[in-house]
Structure 1
Amino acid sequence: MKISMSIYLMLFVFIASAQQNTTELNNEESKFQFRAVTEVGFISVLSHKVKLGETGTYFDYVDNGGQDVLFPTVRFSLEMDWNNRNTIILLYQPLKIETQALLKEDLVANGTTFPALTGIKSLYNFPFYRISYLRDLTKNNDKFIFAIGGSLQIRNATISFESTDGTRYTDNRGVGPVPALKIRSRLNLTDRFYSELEADGMYAPISVLNGSDNETVGAILDASLRLGAYVNNSTNLFFNLRYLGGGAEGSDNDEKWPGDGYVKNWLHFFNVSAGFVLHL
């Protein structure tokens, strides 16, 4: 995954200007408080399998698709507190894994056969666009905070396979809403250090969520454990461990071409990262 340096430059300029404009409000104990959060790290694929088409191969990306190495990742979010007990979070995480591998055995996807010993390019692109709301349940507690709420994530997925000689190609793509429950807790270990647990999760039939006749079952769990340090009044640094898992299984009645609309996709990722929180 290539990340342009211009993204970091734009983020820095935005944060710097926003901090200048909001410092005065925060110093006056405004009911609105703002934070920018950035993480940089790597993803290890613990398990990842996909099946495109009812008669397709349940393809193991780790064993047969080149996902047996580490992949870089970043994560950006903006947070707004108001009245000390309510939080809105806007999150963006690019998640694009591109690999090349020599197939150990035949791969059948959407009716297209990629024979064993074929060189193959694989793309798994699943960026996160998520908005969340949290309500703090521990009023006037300076040592421990526990908040609960919900998230709405946009599923924006592209899965593709292409032979390296360009003679075979197939893909599957889709966009849709994914609601989830959310929790966050923080424990101040000392005046300097804190730990934080955060999780977004959901498991349900898609038809229950959106009222359609699509019987796809979907799930997501994005859970992290964080150890942080208060550097000064405006900056925190942290080390983060994250589990990212989930997927979907079923048929999409509206999008069948080039296959029969059936997709089975389940993954388990482990993410190690470091980052900072800037109080604007």
Structure 2
Amino acid sequence: MKTLIYSICILSLTFFLNKSVNAQAFIDLETGPVFTGYNDVRIPGDQGTLFSMKDDLVSKTKIFYRLRAGYKINPRHSLSLLYAPLETKSEGSMANDIFFEGSSFPANTLINGSYKFNSYRLTYRYDFVNKPRLVFGLGFTAKIRDARIALSSPGITAEKTNVGFVPIINFRLWWKIDEMFGLLIDGDALAAPQGRAEDVHIAATYKVSDNIGIRAGYRILEGGADNDEVYNFSLFHYISAGVTYTFTNKTKSD
């Protein structure tokens, strides 16, 4: 239900912003398989059992999607909203007991794991370089994370949830090789004593028409935190394909 509501909000915002004469609205969809590189967990961070939700509990490949909508205020200034859900499942057993969030999971019993890290982001970016063949911009992303790590086995269930705000630096570099093809590198990244977060995307782009652009590439999502409550560092590999539709404003003369 939350996914549906948020998607409707993004679509509604896109069409609303497109009514502005000066705004060039767009909507973007990205999808493909996502693989777990590593996902190490210890909860509580200072007392729990360290285990891997990739190796100890074997993770499954997942199909992901991301939905972004926004608009360019003018050729250099842009605003966008991103909804990026991520949830993976894993299962397995360990030779030792797992102490997780106040519960003890016995050794050699089947354990099902769930890892959710949904992301909601509002991004402003300014393009310092805006040339026909090269675009480079930096900006700020206000990110809301909705995270949940859960384990369950017969008769035992435990979970750790967290919703929080994370400020991140946004960047974008787009080299337009010719009128049709290009190379895009963009993402959000920031490191701090409390933890780190990197979401970096590299893709080949192709201009289908003035309104439609497609791309294919690779995305890496990495980060985590180490404190008394939670120790979690994870890495995910995305094989991605995307399409962007830009709405064309058509003004009528009097």
Residue in structure 1 matched with residue 188 of structure 2 by the alignment:
200
Distance in 1 between residues matched to 2:11 and 2:192, nearest whole Å? 41
Contact 1:38 1:74 in 2 (8 A): yes
2:149 aligns to what?
159
Matched, 1:274 2:241: yes
SS in 1 for 2:55: helix
Alignment of 1:64-75 (within 5 A): 64-67=56-59, 69-75=60-66
Task: For 1:10-89, list aligned pairs within 5 A.
Answer: 30-53=21-44, 54-67=46-59, 69-89=60-80
Matched-pair contact (CA < 8 Å) for 2:222–2:235: yes
Question: Shift of residue 13 of structure 1?
Answer: 9.4
Residues 52 and 264 of structure 1 are in contact (CA less than 8 Å); yes or no, is this contact kept in structure 2? yes
The answer as to whether partners of 2:10 and 2:81 remain within 8 angstroms in 1 is: no
1:222 aligned residue? 199
Task: Give the letter for the 1:240 counterpart.
Answer: G
Spell out, residue by residue over 1:145-203, the C-alpha distance to the aligned partner (whole angstroms, 9 max, x if none). Answer: 0000111111211111111xx31121111111000111101111111111111021111
Task: Give aligned-pair identity as a percent.
Answer: 25
Could you say if the C-alpha distance between residues 108 and 148 of structure 1 is closer, same or farther in structure 2, counting changes exceeding 3 Å? same
Output the CA distance in 2 between the equivalents of 1:149 and 1:184.
9
Aligned-partner residue type, residue 143 of structure 2:
Q
- Cα distance, 1:228 vs. partner? 1.0
Q: Distance in 2 between matches of 1:15 and 1:52?
A: 35
Secondary structure at the aligned position of 1:127 is classed as: strand
Question: Which of 103, 114, 122 pairs up with 1:131?
Answer: 122
What is residue 92 of structure 1 aligned with on the other side?
A: 83
Query: Relative to structure 1, is the Cα distance of residues 132 and 264 closer, same or farther in structure 2, using a 3 angstrom cutoff?
Result: same
**1:194-230 alpha-carbon deviations (Å, 9 max, x no partner):** 111102111113xxxxxxxxxxx12100000011110
Deviation string 1:94-136 (CA, Å, 9 cap, x unpaired) is 1111223233432121242212211111111110101111001
User: The residue matched to 2:54 in structure 1 has which SS?
Assistant: helix
Which residue identity does 1:60 align to in structure 2? S
The 2-side partners of 1:269 and 1:39 are apart by 15
Does structure 1 conserve the Cα–Cα contact (< 8 Å) formed by 2:14 and 2:71? no
User: Match for residue 108 of structure 2?
Assistant: 117
For 2:133, the equivalent position in structure 1 comes to 143
Q: Does structure 2 retain, via aligned residues, the 8 Å contact 1:246–1:267?
A: yes
SS in 2 for 1:62: coil
How far, CA to CA, are the matches of 1:233 and 1:148 in structure 2?
24
* Count of aligned residue pairs for this structure pair: 246
Q: How far apart, CA to CA, are the structure 1 residues paired with 2:127 and 2:166?
A: 23
| TM-score normalised to structure 1 length | 0.80
Query: Contact 1:218–1:248 (CA<8 Å) still a contact in 2?
Result: yes
Q: Deviations over 1:39-59 (max 9, x none)?
A: 110111111100002221111
The answer as to 2:96 corresponding to 1:105 is: yes
The residue type equivalent to 2:135 in the other structure is I
Separation of aligned partners in 2, 1:174 and 1:130: 16
Note the C-alpha offset of 1:7: 10
Greater fraction of residues in helix? 1
Runs ≥4 in structure 1, deviation > 6 angstroms? 6-25
Q: Which amino acid aligns with 1:233?
A: D
Q: CA RMSD in A?
A: 2.7
Contact 1:55-1:111 at 8 Å conserved across structures: no
C-alpha spacing 1:9/1:105, structure 2 compared with 1 (3 Å)? closer
Structure 1: give runs of 5+ residues left out of the alignment: 1-5, 206-216, 252-261
Sort the Cα spacing of 1:198 and 1:219 in 2 relative to 1 into closer, same or farther, 3 A. same
